[in-house]
Amino acid sequence: MIMKIIKGLALTFVALVVIVVLALFGIFLTSNNQNVEAFALAPPAAKEATEPDDGILIFGASRNTGLDVAEILAARGDKVTAVVRPNSNTEELKKLNVTLVPGDALDMESVRAAMAGKKYRAVLTTIACFSCNPKPDYLGNKNIFDAAKEAGLNRVVLVTTIGAGDSFNSAPLPARQFLKDMLPLKTQAEDYLKSLALDYTIIRPGGLKTAKPTSRAILSEDRKTSGIITRSDLAGLIVGALDDPRTIGKTLAAIDRDFKFPFDMR
């Protein structure tokens, strides 16, 4: 009995040590964010009245960041088209009066149909899925990129995560473990997009939390950047990147410099 108690205490102690080490590691990664150089987004330029424009096409707009982006764009009068799967909850999108098009990123024909005959100013994809099989993080995004290329829609914005590509070592160890099945797919998606000679922007947010915007979030080209960001702040940065042609060809981290991992994830 005594040995069982001792063993239990030892395991508890080891678990506490692991938690403390991981927390300290996260603090270490995010402690220098105040010194991270921000990519200063330019204000949106006025569009010419005669410019043909079907607005923004969004994959992943039914919830979370994609929905937040759709809300910002719709509120300022932009045309927004959202590709939604048959089983998606579209109630929030309907409130925004955006155009809904049935489709699935894993179904190439429906992706092509969503783009056929349109002159979208940009195509945005925020799609990701932990439980899907197959996951859309690479295959779905590949379909989107290929269809955009075929349709002559050159402006593509992809949202992945810190930990993808050359930012792998910047992600906290818990995040790397949690996303271990998805990071390689997100890296594949990034690399494939870069290979297509499209006007791409890749945005890698840190840990995402649902909260009111702080308006302190930034984009940065620093590959060592790690941190946390609210979904609403991320949406604002995505819209800023859509508006700013200087983000073309850029891969940008998105964080809030004042948040510390893991304590501010709650």
Asked if the structure places residue 125 within a domain, the reply is: yes
Q: What is the pLDDT of residue 130?
A: 86
Cα gap 265→227, rounded to integer Å: 10
30 pLDDT higher than 60: no
| 8 Å CB contact between 172 and 262 | yes
Asked if the structure places residue 263 within a domain, the reply is: no
Asked if the structure places residue 47 within a domain, the reply is: no
Q: What is the pLDDT of residue 9?
A: 57
4 vs 222, higher pLDDT: 222
pLDDT digits (tens, 9 = 90+) for 139-168: 999 999 999 999 999 999 999 999 999 999
Residues 136 and 253 in one domain: yes
Query: Average pLDDT of 22-29?
Result: 45
H helix count then E strand count, the chain: 8, 10
Look at the block and give the residue holding tokens 């914005």: 157
Q: What is the pLDDT of residue 19?
A: 40
Asked if the structure places residue 43 within a domain, the reply is: no
Asked if the structure places residue 266 within a domain, the reply is: no
Which structure tokens are listed for 32?
Answer: 């220098």
Asked if the structure places residue 168 within a domain, the reply is: yes
Cα gap 62→91, rounded to integer Å: 8
Structural domains counted in the chain: 2
Q: What is the pLDDT of residue 45?
A: 75
Residues 21 and 72 in one domain: no
227 pLDDT higher than 60: yes
Residues 104 and 201 in one domain: yes
Other beta carbons within 10 Å of 10: 10
Residues 79 and 151 in one domain: yes
Cα distances from 66 to residues 16, 123, 186, 263, in angstroms, run 37, 12, 17, 25
CA atoms within 13 A on the CB side of 8: 5
Residues 63 and 10 in one domain: no
202 pLDDT higher than 60: yes
Helix axis angle, 64-75 to 231-243, nearest 10°:
50
Asked if the structure places residue 48 within a domain, the reply is: no
Query: What is the extent of the structural domain holding 80?
Result: 54-258
Residues 6 and 92 in one domain: no
pLDDT digits (tens, 9 = 90+) for 79-125: 999 999 999 999 999 999 999 999 999 999 999 999 999 999 999 99
218 by DSSP, 3-state: which? strand
Residues 139 and 13 in one domain: no
Provide the pLDDT confidence category of residue 63 given band limits of 50, 70 and 90.
Answer: very high
81 vs 13, higher pLDDT: 81
Residues 24 and 65 in one domain: no
13 pLDDT higher than 60: no
Residues 214 and 120 in one domain: yes
Q: 82 has which bridge partners?
A: 58, 100
Cα gap 207→259, rounded to integer Å: 10
Residues 114 and 162 in one domain: yes
Look at the block and give the residue holding tokens 């000679």: 197
Instruction: Say what the pTM is.
Output: 0.86
Q: What is the pLDDT of residue 53?
A: 86
Asked if the structure places residue 44 within a domain, the reply is: no
- pLDDT above 90: percentage of residues in the chain: 78
Residues 124 and 11 in one domain: no
Q: What is the 3-state secondary structure (H, E, C) of 171-195?
A: CCHHHHHHCCCCHHHHHHHHHHHHC
Look at the block and give the residue holding tokens 């005959």: 117
Residues 15 and 117 in one domain: no
CATH classification of the domain holding 241? 3.40.50.720
Nearest to 168 by CA among 217, 247, 225: 225
Q: What is the pLDDT of residue 125?
A: 98
Provide the pLDDT confidence category of residue 17 given band limits of 50, 70 and 90.
Answer: very low
